[in-house]
Amino acid sequence: DALRPEIRHENNLPGLDQFSGESVRQAIRRESFLHPMVLYPTALGMLSGFAAFLYNAPALLAGMGGLLAVGAGTSVVNYFFRSDAISNRYLEEQAEKYRRERERLLETLTGDLDHCAAVPGAEQYADQGRRQFAAIGRKYRRLREMLQKRFKPGELTYGSFLGAAEQVHLSVIDNLLRIVSLIQSAETIDPGYIEERIRDLRSLRKVTEADEREFEALRRRRELRENQLQQVNTLLTENEESMTVMDQTVAAIAGIKTGRGLADSDLQSAMKHLQEIAERANLFNK
């Protein structure tokens, strides 16, 4: 991981815990008890009651009752009848943060991958990266479609899958950006020149100390380039693993209502693997 280029993200990206059932319930409670239509009428009602007590004004008591009723009624409606809508809005707000971050990162990625395809020795890696870039977008969109068809936004399973999918999608983009950085770094090392100089040095009849130092410098440069491209290969493999888990998750969700009796263990296994990939990516970014 010493060669893994760092990707800096916005500080407000939500973690897996912010897609959890407890976070969703907290959002519902905030909307139910701290919404302006709950707080303001309640506060005004309390003030009206206090003024009625001070000035012995029965009319203010009626106003107090009406305002408190508005506040309490809004709270009850939000908590018992709008919980699904509140849950959906909360989860979409978290997902929107990932969408904006991906858009920021993707501004130059396509062009950079095209450029990397012209780097000697990295052509195949760059081509695989371009294919992964196209594939992960399709897989992510299909997973979201499946989630929306099979679950209600307020369900705990929906939030758990959505949060993990967002992080896995972003982790693949992160890896592609790291791949671009590594290939661009390797591009500055000309393997043809290195091999030519090594052949020339080996053909010398008399080798001086300077020749030995040059040979060692060339060898280290060649090794550095090989290590960079090996790291590229490792990142591409991580992306393939992430996309496989996405496919497995889509298949598990699609099978819920197919009538073939999908076991809960299949769904739990898919969620576990998706979250493991998301958590691994999150650790790399810290």
Quick one: tokens of 64? 């107090």
Tell me which residue of 193, 194, 178 sits closest to 228, measured CA to CA.
Answer: 178
Residue 283 has a pLDDT of 44
User: By the 8 A CB rule, do 183 and 115 touch?
Assistant: no
Predicted confidence at residue 229, as pLDDT, reads: 95
For the cut 80, the answer to whether the pLDDT of residue 271 exceeds it is no
Q: Are 163 and 16 in contact (CB under 8 A)?
A: yes
The yes-or-no verdict on residue 261 having pLDDT over 50 is no
Q: What is the mean pLDDT of residues 191-205?
A: 94
What is the pLDDT confidence band of residue 47, given thresholds at 50, 70 and 90? low
Task: Report the alpha-carbon distance of residue 249 to residue 81 in Å, rounded.
Answer: 31
- Mean pLDDT for 169-173 is 92
Average pLDDT over residues 92-108: 87
Residue 93: which pLDDT band, with cuts at 50, 70 and 90? confident
36, pLDDT greater than 80: no
pLDDT band for 195, please (50, 70, 90 cuts): very high
Greater confidence (6 vs 129) lies with: 129
Rounded distance between C-alpha atoms, residue 52 and residue 67, angstroms: 14
- Pick 46 or 164 by higher pLDDT: 164
Confidence grade of residue 27 (pLDDT, cut at 50, 70, 90) = confident
Mean pLDDT confidence for 165-186: 93
Q: What's the predicted TM-score (pTM) here?
A: 0.77
Distances (CA, A) of 244 to 221, 234, 254, 255, 260: 35, 15, 15, 17, 22
| Spatial separation of the C-alpha atoms in residues 108 and 181, rounded to whole Å | 12
Residue 100 has pLDDT above 80, yes or no: yes
Residue 119 three-state SS = coil
The answer on pLDDT for 240 being more than 90 is: yes
Lowest mean per-residue pLDDT among 68-77, 208-217, 237-246 = 68-77
The whole-angstrom separation of Cα 170 and Cα 163 is 11
Higher pLDDT pick, 41 / 238: 238
Say which residue, 154 or 269, is predicted with more confidence. Answer: 269
